[in-house]
Chains A and B, each alone.
Chain A
Amino acid sequence: MKLSGNVWKFGDDIDTDQIYPGKYLPLTDKKEMGTHAFEGVPDIKDFSAKVRSGDIAIAGRNFGSGSSREHAPIAIRESGIQAVLAISFSRIFYRNAINIGLPIMEIDIDTYNSITQGDKIEIDTETGELRVNGKSFKAFPLSGLEHDILVHNGLINYIKEVML
């Protein structure tokens, strides 16, 4: 998949409570869940009003730590963010993102430092190629299996279309 969008930049240790505060856990409407994405991040105000469909999130270390609930990647996707790049992901978030069909990739710290809020970024989820402000970078591409699951828009569809 080739995706492009504008960057939302986040720091280290953005946990699932910052991505999707626990008080919204009872919500079941996915669109509504999307309006609360990143509401718990202290230094970002009015994210849901400002985010544009197709934007891409860039984060530091340990993105998505905390609870195992899938609300976090679902809320991100529903908010309009179409992919997340981070230096590292917590393992449960990583799985859940792929399983619901949210593209994610790991990047190194130099790449992270070279990207700023609002930059225009192009990514190729298959090769890991990134282009930002005319410069090229490389993300760690997903494995073949993870990428296949993504392309099928998540694990349930993948199972129905490929495995059953």
Chain B
Amino acid sequence: MSKTIIEKIISRASGKDAKVGERVWVKLDLVAMRDFGGPNVVLDFRKHFPQRHVYDSKKVAITFDLHIPPRNEKVAKNQQILRGFAAEEGVHLFDINTGIGQHILLEHGLIKPGSVVVGTDSHMNLLGAVGSFATGVGTTDIVSGLALGKLWFRVPPTIKIILEGRPQNGVLPKDVILYLLKFFKTDGLNYLAVEFFGEYVESLPLSGRITLASMITEMSGKIGFIATDMRIKKELSFTEDISPDPDATYMKEYRFDISKIEPLIALPHSPDNVVAVSEVEGTQIDEVFMGSCTNGREDDFRMARNIIKDREVKVRTIAVPATHSVMINLLKEGIITDFAYAGIVIPNPSCALCTTGHPGILAPGEKLLSTSNRNYVGKIGKGGLIHLVSPLTAAASAVEGKITDPRRFL
């Protein structure tokens, strides 16, 4: 039978002809955990399976994404638990000088097209951008996965999203995914897998594909896939690839002309509360954050630099590369230098202001423009107001001190 990407991956990893709606046991190619959530996994694993080691030490990875270096004793102890476990079990450990888990795993060759990956972050599924079935799960799942090397999954139906046309100047993948959020809403893709197609998707480098795939989570989707093409194979030196069968069955097909999209912004407190940037231009803001797993790669900062170079920011601005190697590249290209001259604060790579607990928290009533993926109530400090934008809109607004349409600078 002809298969979509998810059906192909689950069939391979379960050894069964997986059909939509079925529950099957799937072999895991990688089990990941992080500094938040990971310590509970370790404690539960030791409690429930005291006699066992992890199923395959080469297929387990611990990443420190969030509070690095540790900000207090509790976090330091949590990281100690994880370092101890990594040493005992001989699993991969990416310590405080690395960055956001999914990106680190990708950079270290642990993610391949067609692989099955579970982790403790709700945005693991951005790895669908390279054709990996990665998904965020709870503690019990990770503990079970460590013991068994398998987990049960329900095979989701797949929908097809075709993105056609060329983007207007100043419109980035973030604007495109915000447009889709406005259309599908936050529960519009519940239980569903997505496959992205179309000339726009093909034109995107890894960074843009990741931005698209990462925010499938905000629509409650399981995962957003992009079939492996030559461009990605080359960029990531993949020898594997994955694509759907030509006559695979989709639950539904949607077609969007992206040439009509303008720079967009998600207003507080929901990622689908989307309007055009031009509608809210001039609104005073207090802080700008550039980074996160959605918009923390080289291309994102290159875009921002086009506006930032030789200017100064008028509000406090924090830029955080997704990984250490992204930071090195930004240093080599002089982007960090330009940002520093512009007055931007540049902490070490991490998830940073995607979650509370990182320096940069808002006071009540303060407005943040963020290139991250969620703007729920209280996410970055009680009473703070989070707005989601592209790196270009973030940069334009930072240098103006108010919400600004980036097309003014282009």
Binding site for B on A (CB under 8 A): 13, 17, 22, 61-62, 65-70, 88, 90-92, 95-96, 99-100, 143-146, 149, 154-156, 159-160, 163-164
B154 near A92 (CB under 8 angstroms)? no
Chain B interface extent, by class: 20 to 34
Q: Please encode chain B, from 18 to 30, with 1 for each CB lying within 8 Å of some chain A CB and 0 for all others.
A: 0000110000000
* Interface of chain B residues 357 through 385 with chain A (CB within 8 A): 376, 378
Other contacts beyond A68-B137, A155-B144: 13, CB < 8 A: A13-B187, A65-B186, A65-B220, A68-B138, A69-B37, A92-B136, A95-B141, A96-B141, A99-B144, A144-B23, A154-B140, A156-B140, A159-B148
Q: Name the one of A67, A149, A156 contacting B143, with C-beta atoms under 8 angstroms.
A: A156
Q: Bound complex: CA of A54 vs CA of B189, how far in Å?
A: 33
A99 near B140 (CB under 8 angstroms)? yes
A70 near B190 (CB under 8 angstroms)? no
A65 near B138 (CB under 8 angstroms)? no
Q: Bound complex: CA of A156 vs CA of B125, how far in Å?
A: 24
Number of A-B contacts (CB under 8 A): 72
The yes or no answer to B222 lying at the interface (CB within 8 A) is yes
Q: Please encode chain B, from 107 to 151, with 1 for each CB lying within 8 Å of some chain A CB and 0 for all others.
A: 000000000000011100000000000001111110110011000
A69 near B148 (CB under 8 angstroms)? no
A-B contact pairs, 6 of them (CB 8 A): A17-B376, A62-B187, A90-B187, A95-B141, A96-B140, A145-B23
Q: Bound complex: CA of A122 vs CA of B190, how far in Å?
A: 28
Q: Name the one of A17, A88, A146, A155 contacting B141, with C-beta atoms under 8 angstroms.
A: A155
A149 near B138 (CB under 8 angstroms)? no
B138 near A96 (CB under 8 angstroms)? yes
User: Nearest Cβ in chain B — how far from A124, in angstroms?
Assistant: 20
Q: A66 contacts which chain B residues (CB < 8 A)?
A: 376
The yes or no answer to B48 lying at the interface (CB within 8 A) is yes
Q: Bound complex: CA of A160 vs CA of B136, how far in Å?
A: 23
User: Nearest Cβ in chain A — how far from B25, in angstroms?
Assistant: 8
Given contacts A65-B220, A149-B152, contact A91 B138 (CB under 8 A): no
Q: Bound complex: CA of A159 vs CA of B147, how far in Å?
A: 9
B152 near A163 (CB under 8 angstroms)? no
User: Nearest Cβ in chain A — how far from B40, in angstroms?
Assistant: 9
